[in-house]
């Protein structure tokens, strides 16, 4: 329990105590340059949770739907490939999100892609081996935040940047990965972090 005289800190993505009027959290400016593609000690310290554990195993159809996201298939392509309706596709996506412990379909799918790549359920061989040019430190940190499923507000707070800057760094990373989707970027970053023992 923190007293009101202690400096506020962020623990598990939450501020340890209410801020006084005009009080701000001291920003850490100690980002070390990555020695691998991804190293973000500051972000790693503030992970809201380790990857959420699914309550049930994914079904084969759910894995196929997730693979469709990693392969950047359009909704129409997913419907044709998996022989399901658009309504069924949404139901599968909602079930996946629920198994990951999220009410938001988007958040749940992002977390499920991370878990699927980490467990080797999803094939990432279609993703590039490396970016077309090295990521900037900020791009690396934003990709790490995406893998950890940080909301934009927390990424902004930890990196001391605006939401527009987060979007710019995301776009730069997508471009360097061959104009990929957010799910492809998350899958690629997860694969690299697992390969380097950072996840």
CB 184 within 8 A of CB 72: yes
| H or E element, residue 158 | helix 152-159
Query: Predicted confidence band at 14 (pLDDT cuts at 50, 70, 90)?
Result: low
Q: What is the pLDDT of residue 18?
A: 66
Summarised one tens digit per residue, pLDDT across range 138-155 is 999 999 999 999 988 899
Taking the CA atoms of the chain, what radius of gyration do you get in angstroms?
Answer: 18
CATH number of the 60-118 domain:
1.10.10
DSSP codes, 164-194: HHHHHHHHHHHHHTTS--HHHHHHHHHHHHH
Higher-confidence residue: 50 or 158?
158
Query: Predicted confidence band at 109 (pLDDT cuts at 50, 70, 90)?
Result: very high
Query: Predicted confidence band at 39 (pLDDT cuts at 50, 70, 90)?
Result: very low
pLDDT of residue 117 exceeding 70, the answer is yes
Mean pLDDT of 27-51: 38
Query: Predicted confidence band at 111 (pLDDT cuts at 50, 70, 90)?
Result: very high
DSSP codes, 16-48: SSPPPTT--PPPP--PPPPSSS---HHHHHT-S
Mean pLDDT of 8-13: 54
pLDDT of residue 37 exceeding 50, the answer is no
Summarised one tens digit per residue, pLDDT across range 72-90 is 999 999 989 888 899 999 9
Higher-confidence residue: 35 or 142?
142
């Amino acid at each position: 329990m923190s007293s009101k005289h202690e400096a506020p800190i962020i623990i598990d993505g939450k501020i340890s105590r209410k801020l006084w009027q005009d009080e701000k959290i001291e920003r850490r400016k100690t980002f070390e340059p990555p020695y691998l593609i991804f190293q973000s000690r500051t972000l790693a310290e503030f992970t809201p949770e380790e990857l959420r554990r699914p309550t049930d195993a994914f079904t084969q159809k759910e894995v196929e739907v997730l693979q469709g996201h990693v392969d950047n298939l359009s909704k129409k392509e997913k419907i044709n490939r998996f022989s399901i309706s658009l309504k069924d596709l949404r139901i599968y996506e909602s079930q996946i999100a629920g198994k990951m412990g999220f009410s938001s379909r988007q958040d749940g799918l992002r977390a499920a892609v991370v878990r699927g790549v980490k467990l080797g359920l999803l094939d990432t061989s279609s993703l590039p081996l490396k970016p077309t040019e090295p990521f900037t430190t900020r791009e690396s940190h934003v990709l790490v935040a995406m893998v950890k499923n940080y909301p934009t507000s927390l990424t902004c707070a930890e990196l001391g940047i605006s939401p527009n800057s987060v979007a710019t760094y995301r776009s730069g990373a997508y471009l360097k990965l061959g104009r990929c989707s957010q799910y492809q970027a998350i899958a690629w970053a997860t694969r690299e972090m697992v390969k380097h023992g950072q996840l």
